[in-house]
């Protein structure tokens, strides 16, 4: 079976309909409280390298180490009144 891409059909699939029926829609069905969202944090490569050598190498251990460091930093900031 050979697949051929038709740009006209692709564009036709992207166009909006004139009307949509939301009569059976459920408000907030896909929303989640902000507290449940996990925000990705991207670390610089040199930081990851240093911390990976300190932790056992697994991503869970790395996350635990980063959390521990950040908690200590927050504790110090609170002690200094920042």
In a domain? residue 1: no
Where in the sequence is the domain holding 11, given as residue range(s)? 7-80
Check residue 36 and give its pLDDT. 77
User: What CA–CA distance (Å, rounded) separates 63 from 68?
Assistant: 9
Check residue 2 and give its pLDDT. 76
CA angle 16, 20, 23 (to 5 degrees): 160
In a domain? residue 2: no
In a domain? residue 12: yes
User: What CA–CA distance (Å, rounded) separates 31 from 36?
Assistant: 10
Is the pTM above the cut of 0.85? Answer: no
**Averages of pLDDT over each 10 residues, the chain, 82 residues:** 75 79 91 81 91 78 90 95 79
Q: What angle in degrees, to the nearest 10, is found between the helix axes of 45-54 and 59-80?
A: 100
Domains in the chain, number: 1
């Amino acid at each position: 079976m050979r697949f051929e891409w038709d740009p006209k059909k692709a564009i036709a699939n992207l166009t909006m309909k004139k009307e949509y029926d939301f009569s059976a829609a459920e408000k907030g069905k896909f929303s989640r409280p902000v507290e449940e969202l996990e925000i990705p944090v991207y670390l610089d490569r040199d930081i990851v390298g240093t911390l990976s050598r300190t932790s056992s190498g697994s991503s869970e251990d790395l996350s635990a180490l980063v959390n521990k460091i950040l908690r200590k930093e927050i504790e110090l900031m609170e002690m200094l009144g920042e």
